[in-house]
Structures are given as structure tokens and as C-alpha cells.
Structure 1
Amino acid sequence: MESVLLRIRKPIQIVIKEYYMRHLLLRNIVCPLIAAAVAFSLCQSVMAAEKYELKVVTDRPDAIYQAGEEATFLISVTKDGKPLADESGETITYRVDDYISSGPNYPNGKLTVGSEPAVVKVTADKPGFLRCVVTLDANKKLTKTAGAAFSPQEIEPSLPVPADFDEFWTEQKRKLAEVPAKAKLTPVTQPNNKIECFDLQVDCLGGAPVSGYLGKPKDAKPKSLPAILWVHGAGVRSSSLGNAIKGANAGMLSLDINAHGLPNGKTAEFYKEQYAGPLKGYPHFGRENRETTYFVGMFLRLIRAMDYLTSQPEWDGKTLIVIGHSQGGGQALAAGGLDERVTFIASGVPAICDHSGRAAGRINGWPKLVTTLPDGTPAAAELKAAQYVDGVNFASRSKADAIMSVGFIDVTCPPSSCYAAYNQLKGKKQVINKPLMGHAAPGDIHKAFFAAVKAHVKEQAGK
């Protein structure tokens, strides 16, 4: 009997020991985990309840100063819609740079913010732009930027126009003229019975046709319509039937072309595959040589598109408008420089400008066509080729009137690159400065651009 009891007691002892160990595990590990989870949840709730807002502006609403003047960035923080108390202890981290680097001449560091804005003062001794980038230390995801312009209308080209620039493009036009402008029009259904629209394909030099949508009022009389050409920003997509319709509804011969001569109206997947496949990285294709750089072909399609529009019997013979944003803004500048018939350019935050900005100590424009080598110098062959497709150089050849938008915190098409082109335009011009805008084409810009287009059409009608 005793041996049996011993055999029974031993398992009971083991069970008691295991129970005790589990209790310790629960107390020492599981409970702290639960407590930590509860604490984290409470912390998250508190952070969610405390809504911070960070604001950075300049002391002048237009953010424009003369070179040598002092600009002041004002940094303020609110929590739950109210200014911080002076004793809050909240801090921000800031840096001022020239869109390339902070450098030893620009301030950076930490500041405490309270009921009054924190102040950062800067100056620039030459025409250009500076920006102030600010992060709230209590929430690293909360970052704001403001820009300041210093004598922007005195920004000059970073390099001279090549001596044979015009000769090069005259030769490109000669080669293009050897390709018959065979056009194919296919009617396209759209809701307005007062206009008619077509898919347009025109043979072209440069590896792809002009591909677009053409719209015009029905039964328009000969020489009665101004012409407008819509050109596209970066990426790969179909031409826009909506733009063709918009221009036609406004009484214009309206053509929207895609940048790559691709078929129109395909599925989104088709254009996505093109972007990920044969057109991946297209802005840098052939950039080592002026004959092979991708933008030469793109600009030849511009020339052919304008030739087609101006060959139509309905064209009024005196009004040719080109409008686009970003890459399209750069194309609009190129069109104005390549064809003296262009009377108006609407160029939003233009790309393809100031490829050689680094030569003047400023950031290069999109698409960073010129490689900066490890020693800080530009790749020589790329630099030479880029000058023949630079919007700054085309702008210097244009006599068209123009409107341009510029975002002071745009890092894609930096404001210095836009102004380098704007300052070269010879016609009547206006600029829409957006001190707190990055790379964008918001609704108010589109509205202002089309209002300017219609005003130009009205002015031309009186000539």
C-alpha cells in the first residue's frame, strides 16, 4: 500500500509544481505583456486625441525678396486647434537648403515652439531659391516646407545656348519633312452633337506616330478656328478625349496628343505594361548623344502635330496655342521655340528645363538628364547633349505670349529651373507663383490657364 501511495504522491507533486510554474509564468510574463498592451493602447488614444498642426510660412505673403535681403521663416505649432503654451517644451528640427544641400552657410538645428512662431532668418547673395524644411519632434511624420525666392526674375541660363542649336533643329525639321505626313482619322463617339471628334494618327520621324484625339465644332467655316495643342506630363497614358472636347466646346480646333505615340483608348493595364516595359526609364534613353536623346523624338511629334493643325482648312491662320503641365509644360516651351506660328504658351511647373543647373550652383531640373559624377562634375557627353533639348534654350527662341506656374517647394521641377526658362521668354507673359506648392497642377491653376487661353483667343480675334 505504501509503495502505491508513493507512486500516487509523486505525480501529484509534479502537478503542483507545474501549476506553480505556470502561475509564475502568467504573473511574470503574460501579465506585463497585457499591461504593456493596455498602456500602448492608452498612449495611442492620447496621441490620437492630441492633434498637432505644423505651419511654415514666410513673413511676406508672396515669399519674394531681393538678393541680399533677409527672409524670415515663421514656424508655428497648434495642438487640438490651439496655440501651444510657452512652457509646453515642444521642439522642432529645421534645416534651410538650396534644394541641393544645407551647406555651412544655411542655418539648421532645433527650436522650441510656444504661443509665438519660432523664427528662422536667411538670406541669399544671388538670385535663386531657398527652402526651410521643418519636422515636429513630437511626431516625426509631421513635416512642412516653405520656400523663399530671391530676385527670381534675374535668374539667368546656367549655360549659353550652343552655337549650332538652331542649325541642329533646322536639320531635324528637314529630316522630318522627308517623311510624308500620312494621317488617319477615325470618328470617336462623344456626347456633344455640336462637335465632332476623331482618333488621329499621323506618320512621323522618331520611331512613333503622332497619336491623339482631335475635336472641332461641326460645320466650322474655313479659317474660322484658333488651334490648341494639349501635351502631356510624364508617364505613359492614352491621349485625352476630354481635352479635345474641352477645346472644341470653346470653339477651337483642339488636338490632345500623348507623349509617346502610343495607341489611344487602350486598357489601363496596357499603358502600365508599357511604362514597366519598353518605356521604363524613357527620359534617360539615349541621353549621351543629341541625336538619340528621347526628347528629340518627342519634340518632332510636337512639330508634326502643329503642322497637322495648321494645315486644316478651319484654322484661322493666326492663333496657335500649346498647353501642358510638368513634362507637358516643357513641351509647350519647346513648341514655342521650334515653331514661330505658336502665339501662346501655357506652361505649368515646366519640366525639361535647366539640365545644367549645377553649372550655376543650383539644382538641375527634371528629369536630371545629366549625371553628377562622384567628384561633383557633370558627365560631359550627357551635358553636351542635354543642351539641345533644354526648355530654357527653346524659351529664348520663342516670341509667343505665355503664362507659367511655379511651385516654390517643387523638388521635381525646381522653381529655379522654371524661372530660368520664364526669364528667357520674349513675349507678353505672366507667372503664377505658389510659395507653398510642390509639384502640382491644382484646379485653380487649370482654371487660370484656360481663362488666359480664352483671353488670348479673344485678343487674336481683334487683330
Structure 2
Amino acid sequence: MKKFSKQIVASSIFIIVFVSSLLAQPAQTLIDVNIAPEKSDWVYKPNEKAKFNLSVTKNNIPVQNVSVWYEVGPEMMPPLKKENIVLKNGTATIDGGTLKEAGFLRCRVVATYEGKEYAGLATAAFNPEGIRPTTDEPKDFIGFWDEAKAANAKIPMDAKVRLLPERCTEKINVYEVNIQNYKPGTRLFGILCVPKAAGKYPAILRVPGAGVRPYNGDTGNAEKGVITFEIGIHGIPVTMDASVYDNIRTASLDGYQNYNLDDKDRYYYKRVYLGCVRAVDYIFSLPEFDGNNIVVLGGSQGGALSIVTAALDNRIKGLVAFYPALSDVTGYLHNRAGGWPHFFNAANLSFNNSPQKIETSKYYDVVNFARHLKVPGFYSWGYNDVTCPPTSMYAAYNVITAPKTLFLVEETGHWTYPEQWGMAYEFALNILGK
């Protein structure tokens, strides 16, 4: 696997700071539970025994005689080993056992100090490049999506644009845009940022992570001379008061990931995936767009949508995907981790374990879109992600035959360091000629 150049252009600093504020590493705690595989690259061969080095520290000094319990097992699955121990000198080495096949072995530790619990985890990889998907591609997969795109293209875009003067700057205009998508009367909302200076510009389509929220738009890249369009997926305005989204999140859109999963033609993400293509249509309609150079970018659900959009729309020239969700979701049906939103894990199995839902999932699984990618992609994640398990992400990554760059930061979970975003934007802007 390749690691992209670590040179970060100075002009990316604003973006790095902005994004890292949204996807920052976890806050520090009084007690640090530090755990890592004994191997420096965290990678083992199948049947090779993994060991984890553990230390519990306060002010970077090991805590004497601290009680901990730990469990070890394949990620997201029931543990194979549990034990309570006392760390006399604040350190220990844990024998984690092994895996016979490609996958990930996770060690979770909880330390108790003055009545409070502090947790840490580490995940050892076993031949991750050997992980293969559990899902398969339906015979009519391409035909299904070609038909859906053709039907969507017949719906008038009917773009409505509203200037947001309070968000504009000396260099860019910022708008809330809504366009028709999926069926007449259904709208897609987003924030469009366009450089004011006359000229033709490349574009970035920014696709969202899971949830229900407002959006600010990607003003930083627009200031560099790039059209940016950051979209929501739920068909509601993206500039309302935060309390409105709180109410919607816990009411009508609670669990939207599961809506109509038993019907591939009505499943919630059909409108979402087609909306990403419709957003590309809108960018191509802009007189300021250069008509050629466009990249799609996102993390988590947005990482999934980046891959999906690039696979569905051959106008996309490159993609950035952080810890992509919706990848190999059937993993749990094969006794290993599956991707977010974990349709078939123990908590959801009784609700979702039906032939119709399993079959529908195949039409929306990122693995089956990844198989059809033809453009360069930048990917980044860590081994400690409990939201989008690395097993699921590698299942998608390993089937990609297009040029691909993977920047691993093994210790990270469902969060990023600024350097990851710096490299991602460097990658994207290079494709765009900026």
C-alpha cells in the first residue's frame, strides 16, 4: 500500500484547521490508557500471535497498582478472551492470540482509577490486503443504476438559488441552492461557493457524513479558486436553526438508514445516490465551471457517497474518501464485522435479517460500486474505528482496480488528524490543477 507525499502546501492551513475542528481527535483525559500492538506497523501474518503493550499513565507517569480488565477478539464480534489484572508498575503485555484468516483482532482495556473508568483500545491487522468482500454484485446491478439515472435525468432540475450575503467574502459569493431530484417536488439542498473573479473554475462536490444538520459550505477551497458545492441528503434546507435539525433527527429521520430496506426501488439511499449525481449535473450547468475538472470528497457516509458518485458518474475525475461507511454490510452474516450502519449485527439482526433486505443491501453496498471505479482516489482511515470497521473498508478498498492511494493512521478511530486532511486536499487540488 502506498502513502501519499507528506508535503502539505501552506495554502491548505485554513482548511486543515476548519476540518480538524469538526473531526478532531478525542479529548484528553486525566488517565491515559495507552495500548498498541507490539509490532510497529500493527500488522501480523495469519496464525502469528499478536501481543499488545499496555500502560496506564497519569501526567505521563505509569499509575502503580491500577486495576484493569481487558477483552480480546475479532473486531465488533464477541470477545474470545477476558481477564481482570492489576498493573503493579502501571504496565503489562497482553497475549492477544491470533487469527487464522485475514482480518482484525481488537484488544479493549478499561482501567479504574479513583472510582472512574478510563478506556483504550488497539487493533492488530492480519493480512488486511487479503480481506475479500462477503457481499456479491447482483447481475442487474449496472442496469438497475443506469435505468435509475436515466429516469432521474428526465426530471427538470428547476434550480432555485438564494444569495447568503452574510457568508460572502471579498473573493467569493455564497448561495443556498435547491434543485429537483428523484421525483417532481423532491428537492436537494446545498451550499454553493463561487469565486467572484471572472473566469472558469474547477469544482469540488462535498458529500456529507451521516446525520441531520446545517451546512456552512466549503469557503476555504472556494477562496483558492475552486467552485465548491456542499450538499445535504435529506431534502430539507441546510440553513435553518440548529434546533430544527435536532427535532427532525429524533423524529421523522430517526433511523433513516433503515427506511424501506426491503425494497431496492424505494430504499432511502436511492434518492441519496441519485442526488449526488444530480449535484454533479448542477455543477456542470454553472457558467463559471470549467466544464471538466471535478472531484468528490467526503468522510464516513460521505466517504461512501464519494465512491458511489465516482462510480456512477464518469464526469468525476477523482475522489477522496475517509473511512467509507456502507461497505460490506453483510459481514456480520459471515461472522465478521460489517460496515455502518450495521444492518445485520446482533442488535439489528432480528429486525433486518430477511432475504429482501439482504438482497437490497447489495444494490447499495459500497463494495459493488468500488468494483467499477475508474478514477484516482485518496483513502484514509485507522485500525481503531468502531463506527466503520477496517474489515469492511478493506473489503471495498481491495476490489478497487483504479489508481488508489491509502494513507493509514493506524491509531485513529472515527476521527482524523490535520495531516490527513492536508494530504487529501493536496491530492484533490493536484487533480484540479490548483
TM-score range, shorter chain: 0.7 to 0.9
With 144-153 and 440-449 compared, the bigger mean Cα shift is at: 440-449
Q: How does 1:25-424 map to 2 (within 5 A)?
A: 52-78=31-57, 81-83=60-62, 88=65, 90-102=66-78, 106-115=80-89, 117-138=92-113, 141-189=117-165, 190-205=167-182, 208-221=186-199, 224-241=200-217, 243=218, 245-370=219-344, 378-424=353-399
Q: Is the 8 A contact 1:183 1:202 kept in 2?
A: yes
Distance 2:344 2:206 in 1: 27
Q: Give the whole-Å Cα distance in 1 for the aligned partners of 2:405 and 2:263.
A: 34
Partner SS state of residue 382, structure 1:
helix
Post-superposition shift, 1:371?
6.5
Aligned-partner SS, 1:67: coil
Amino acid at match of 1:124: L
The letter for the 1-side match of 2:401 is K
| Number of matched pairs | 400
- Structure 1: how far apart are the matches of 2:168 and 2:288? 22
Q: Quote the offset at 1:390 in angstroms.
A: 0.8
Go from structure 1 to structure 2 and tell me whether the alpha carbon gap of 1:78 and 1:194 turns closer, same or farther (over 3 Å shift). closer
Give, as a single letter, the amino acid of the residue that structure 2 aligns with 1:427: A
Compute the displacement of 1:77 (Å): 2.6
SS at the partner of 1:233? Answer: coil
Q: Offset at 1:442?
A: 4.2
* CA displacement at 1:140 relative to structure 2: 5.7
Larger radius of gyration: 1
Q: CA RMSD in A?
A: 2.3
d(CA) in 2 for partners of 1:364, 1:415: 9
- Structure 1 pair 150–55 and aligned structure 2 pair: CA distance change class (3 A): same
Separation (CA, whole Å) in 1 of partners of 2:216 and 2:350:
44
In 1, Cα distance between equivalents of 2:32 and 2:179: 52
In structure 2, what residue type is equivalent to 1:58?
P
Superposition deviation, residue 124 in structure 1: 1.4
Moved more, 370-379 or 417-426: 370-379
- SS of match in other structure, 2:148: helix
| Whole-angstrom CA distance in 2 between matches of 1:362 and 1:61 | 25
Shift of the alpha carbon at 1:262? 1.1
The answer to whether the 8 Å contact 1:371/1:378 transfers is no
Greater mean deviation of Cα atoms: 208-217 or 117-126: 117-126
SS in 1 for 2:55: strand
Relative to structure 1, the CA distance from residue 61 to residue 376 in structure 2 (aligned partners, 3 Å threshold; closer, same or farther) is farther
Which has the larger helix fraction? 1
1:307 is displaced (CA, Å) by 1.2
Q: What amino acid is aligned across from residue 44 of structure 2 in structure 1?
A: Y
Which among 429, 443, 449 is matched to residue 418 of structure 2?
Answer: 443
1:96-152 Cα shifts (integer Å, max 9, x gaps): 11123345xx43323442445323242211111111011225556122111111111
Q: Which has the higher contact order (CA 8 A, sep 6+)?
A: 2
TM-score (norm 2): 0.85
Q: By how many angstroms is 1:214 displaced? A: 1.2
Contact 2:338-2:345 within 8 A present in 1 as well: no
Q: Is the 8 A contact 1:212 1:240 kept in 2?
A: no
Q: Does 1:427 align with 2:372?
A: no
User: TM-score with structure 1 length normalisation?
Assistant: 0.80
Contact 1:130 1:147 in 2 (8 A): yes
Residue identity matched to 1:61: S
Aligned-residue offset at 1:180: 1.0
- Post-superposition Cα deviations, 1:1-37, rounded to whole Å, max 9, x if no partner, equal xxxxxxxxxxxxxxxxxxxxxxxxxxxxxxxxxxxxx
- Residue 178 of structure 2 contacts residue 190 of structure 2 at CA under 8 Å; is this kept in 1? yes
Looking at structure 2, the residues matched to 160 and 310 of structure 1 have their Cα atoms a distance apart, in angstroms, of 33
Deviation per CA, 1:255-307, whole angstroms, max 9, x where unpaired? 11112121131111111122122212111111111111111111111010011
Could you say if the C-alpha distance between residues 98 and 230 of structure 1 is closer, same or farther in structure 2, counting changes exceeding 3 Å?
same
Residue 81 of structure 1 and its aligned partner are, at CA, apart by 4.2
What does residue 34 of structure 1 align with? none
- Provide, for residues 73-104 of structure 1, a one-character-per-residue CA deviation record: whole Å limited to 9, x for no partner: 1112335643356xx4x44321111123345x
Q: Kindly tell me: are residues 78 and 270 of structure 1, through their superposed partners in 2, closer, same or farther at Cα, counting changes over 3 Å?
A: closer
Q: What CA distance in whole angstroms lies between the structure 2 residues aligned with 1:140 and 1:264?
A: 40
CA distance in 2, matches of 1:251, 1:68: 52
CA contact (8 A) 1:370 1:379 kept: no
**Mean CA deviation greater in 118-127 or 165-174:** 118-127
Distance 1:67 1:367 in 2: 28
The answer to whether the Cα contact below 8 Å between 1:402 and 1:428 also exists between their aligned partners in 2 is yes
Look up the SS of the partner of 2:306 in the other structure: helix
Is the contact made by 1:96 and 1:132 (CA closer than 8 Å) also made in structure 2?
Answer: yes
Q: Point out the more displaced range, 181-190 or 296-305.
A: 181-190
Deviation at 1:381, TM superposition (A): 1.2
Q: 1:426 Cα deviation (Å)?
A: 2.4
